[in-house]
C-alpha cells in the first residue's frame, strides 16, 4: 500500500515537471514572437 502511494507521488511530480516545461516553452515562444513580429512588419512594409 505504501509503495503504491510513493509510486503515485512520483508520477504526480513528473506531471508537474512536464507542465513547468510546457509553461517555459510558451513563455519562450511568446518572447520570440514579440522580438520577431516588429522585424517581420519592417521587412513586409
DSSP structure string for the chain: -HHHHHHHHHHHHHHHHHHHHHHHHHHHHHHHHHHHHHHHHHHH-
What pLDDT sits at residue 7?
64
pLDDT in 10s for each residue of the chain, 45 residues = 556 666 666 777 777 788 899 999 999 999 999 999 988 888 887
pLDDT at 26: 96
Q: Cα–Cα distance between 16 and 21 in angstroms, integer?
A: 9
Could you give the number of structural domains in the chain?
1
For the chain, what's the residue count?
45
pTM for the whole structure:
0.56
Residue 36 belongs to domain spanning? 1-45
Amino acid at each position: 500500500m505504501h509503495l503504491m502511494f510513493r509510486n503515485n507521488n512520483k508520477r504526480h511530480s513528473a506531471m508537474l515537471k512536464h507542465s513547468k516545461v510546457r509553461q517555459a516553452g510558451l513563455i519562450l515562444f511568446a518572447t520570440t514572437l514579440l522580438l520577431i513580429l516588429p522585424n517581420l512588419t519592417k521587412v513586409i512594409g
